[in-house]
């Protein structure tokens, strides 16, 4: 490597730190160090290495950098360039580095069939602990959060008052909102009605059709959305007939049909929906996979978080308690972790909850 005319000033044979640094893609001070090393190697170079200002040998490199360092002999300049690779400070050895993904993952927690006031308090508390420990981007309550027992057509003298259910559910979602936002202020929330919430509209149709559409300032007064205060709490609302469409052809819906065995209900929902589906409603856990020429589709039944209601014979229900976490590892790729809750305990993300 031989210096070209860029390194000479109009006098013909001068080289500066600034132009040397520019040429080599290094800083002026690094270029200064190179010249100093070179100077130390070639004692004869001393005489030919000059500074426009008077800089003592003991002065710092920084001080010298302030001054244009000049090499006034083209032969030495050539020698300097020939030995540059040797003189260049060695790059420190790169450390072993593992590239950790940025938090590109998005976690969605899906809970359903809590059936206030028949909720399982201990289980809900453990689920809350899990959410507290997690980084959650969306929480979905996928139907039958309320039992709406008092609004059913079943004749039972001992029916839970509707107001009591609302109070319990409202305090639950307030706490849930707070806990989920504890690690992620931007967490989103979605409420989907189940067939039990749909009891309110059916009740009004039967008993008080005049009040069905009653609205004040645009708010439908006698609606689950209004009674639960979902708008004020920042929750998105979907009715029983709607579903939440997520990327990667994944649909979250409460569910309408119940088959006898685990996973066959969601298989039916997948045929109806034509994609991958997560449902509640059946109170069972299950997984159903189908691969065809269009791809692989997955269906999950998401268990329940309630106790067996008093109107069912003791231990007669083929139910499992559970919930799931859906994790997006990119825009459309998702993975499901199902929590199977047994005796109030479950494992999620390698940790035991409810013990
Ligand atoms: Fe249910
Ligand atoms: Fe249901």
Distance from residue 115's CA to the centre of ligand 1 (Å): 7
Distance from residue 135's CA to the centre of ligand 1 (Å): 27
Closest ligand (CA of 319): 1
Residue 352 has a pLDDT of 98
Q: Which helix (H) or strand (E) holds 298?
A: strand 295-302
Give 74-99 pLDDT, tens digit per residue: 666 677 777 777 766 666 566 666 66
Closest ligand (CA of 304): 1
b vs e for 193-203, b when ≥16 Cβ sit within 10 Å of the residue's Cβ? Answer: bbebbbbbbeb
CA angle 125, 129, 130 (to 5 degrees): 120
Distance from residue 240's CA to the centre of ligand 2 (Å): 10
As a whole-number percent, the residues of the chain with pLDDT over 90 amount to: 59
Asked whether residue 313 is domain-assigned, the answer is yes
Is 137 in contact with 107 (CB distance < 8 Å)? yes
Q: Tell me the C-alpha distance between 76 and 72, whole Å.
A: 8
Tell me which residue has tokens 């305090």: 171
Distance from residue 249's CA to the centre of ligand 2 (Å): 23
| 62 and 126 housed in the same domain | no
Distance from residue 74's CA to the centre of ligand 1 (Å): 90
Distance from residue 238's CA to the centre of ligand 2 (Å): 15
Q: Which helix (H) or strand (E) holds 36?
A: helix 28-41
Residue 219 has a pLDDT of 87
Distance from residue 282's CA to the centre of ligand 1 (Å): 7
| 289 and 341 housed in the same domain | yes
Distance from residue 42's CA to the centre of ligand 2 (Å): 89
Tell me which residue has tokens 């969306």: 138
Closest ligand (CA of 145): 1
As a whole-number percent, the residues of the chain with pLDDT over 70 amount to: 77
Average pLDDT for 23-34: 74
Distance from residue 242's CA to the centre of ligand 2 (Å): 14
Distance from residue 281's CA to the centre of ligand 1 (Å): 5
Distance from residue 306's CA to the centre of ligand 2 (Å): 12
Q: Tell me which of 53, 87, 121 is where a domain ends.
A: 87
Tell me which residue has tokens 């189908």: 290
Residue-range definition of the domain harbouring residue 127: 106-353
Q: Tell me the C-alpha distance between 322 and 124, whole Å.
A: 10
Distance from residue 273's CA to the centre of ligand 1 (Å): 20
Q: What residues flank ion ligand 2 with Cβ within 5 A? A: 144, 194-195, 281
Q: Tell me which of 87, 121, 152 is where a domain ends.
A: 87
| 131 and 55 housed in the same domain | no
Distance from residue 195's CA to the centre of ligand 2 (Å): 5
Distance from residue 332's CA to the centre of ligand 1 (Å): 29
Q: Tell me the C-alpha distance between 222 and 166, whole Å.
A: 12
Asked whether residue 101 is domain-assigned, the answer is no
Q: How many domains does the chain have?
A: 2
The rounded Cα 222 to chain-centroid distance in angstroms is 35
pLDDT band at 53 (very low <50, low <70, confident <90, very high): very low
Q: Tell me the C-alpha distance between 51 and 71, whole Å.
A: 9
DSSP string across 28-96: HHHHHHHHHHHHHH-GGGGGGEE-SS---TTS-HHHHHTS--EE--HHHHHHHHHTHHHHSPPPPPPPP
Asked whether residue 154 is domain-assigned, the answer is yes
Average pLDDT for 109-131: 97
Higher per-residue pLDDT: 219 or 224: 224
| 122 and 229 housed in the same domain | yes
Is 314 in contact with 304 (CB distance < 8 Å)? no
Is 153 in contact with 323 (CB distance < 8 Å)? no
Q: Tell me which of 26, 53, 87 is where a domain ends.
A: 87
Domain with residue 187: its CATH number is 3.60.21.10
Asked whether residue 29 is domain-assigned, the answer is yes
pLDDT band at 45 (very low <50, low <70, confident <90, very high): very low
pLDDT band at 251 (very low <50, low <70, confident <90, very high): very high
Domain with residue 24: its CATH number is 1.10.10
Closest ligand (CA of 240): 2
Q: Which of 55-69, 126-140, 200-214 has the lowest mean pLDDT?
A: 55-69
Residue 42 has a pLDDT of 62
């Amino acid at each position: 490597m031989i210096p070209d005319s860029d390194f000479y000033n109009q006098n013909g044979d001068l080289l500066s730190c600034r132009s040397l640094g520019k040429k080599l893609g290094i800083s002026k001070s690094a270029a200064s160090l190179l010249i100093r090393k070179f100077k130390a190697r070639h004692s004869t170079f001393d005489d030919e290495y000059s500074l426009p200002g008077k800089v003592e040998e003991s002065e710092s490199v920084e001080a010298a950098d302030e001054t244009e360092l000049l090499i006034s002999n083209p032969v030495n300049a050539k020698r300097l360039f020939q030995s540059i690779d040797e003189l260049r400070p060695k790059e420190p050895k790169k450390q072993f580095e593992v590239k950790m993904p940025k938090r590109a993952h998005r976690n969605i927690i899906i809970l359903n069939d809590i059936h206030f006031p028949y909720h399982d308090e201990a289980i809900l508390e453990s689920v809350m602990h899990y959410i507290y420990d997690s980084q959650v981007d969306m929480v979905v309550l996928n139907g039958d959060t309320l039992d709406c027992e008092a609004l059913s057509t079943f004749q039972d003298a001992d029916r839970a008052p509707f107001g009591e259910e609302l109070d319990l559910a409202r305090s639950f979602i307030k706490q849930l909102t707070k806990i989920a936002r504890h690690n992620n202020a931007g967490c989103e929330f979605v409420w989907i009605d189940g067939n039990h919430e749909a009891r309110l509209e059916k009740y009004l149709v039967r008993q008080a059709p005049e009040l069905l559409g009653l609205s004040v300032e645009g708010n439908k007064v006698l609606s689950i959305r209004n009674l639960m205060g979902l708008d004020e709490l920042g929750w998105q609302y979907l009715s029983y007939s709607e579903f939440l469409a997520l990327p990667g052809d994944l649909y979250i819906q409460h569910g309408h049909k119940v088959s006898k065995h685990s996973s066959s209900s969601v298989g039916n929902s997948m045929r109806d929906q034509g994609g991958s589906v997560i449902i509640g409603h059946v109170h069972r856990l299950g997984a159903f996979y189908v691969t065809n020429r269009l791809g692989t589709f997955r269906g999950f039944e998401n268990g329940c978080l309630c106790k067996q209601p008093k109107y069912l014979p003791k231990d007669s229900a083929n139910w499992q308690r559970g919930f799931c976490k859906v994790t997006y590892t990119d825009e459309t790729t998702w993975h499901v972790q199902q929590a199977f809750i047994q005796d109030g305990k479950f494992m999620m993300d390698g940790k035991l909850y409810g013990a």
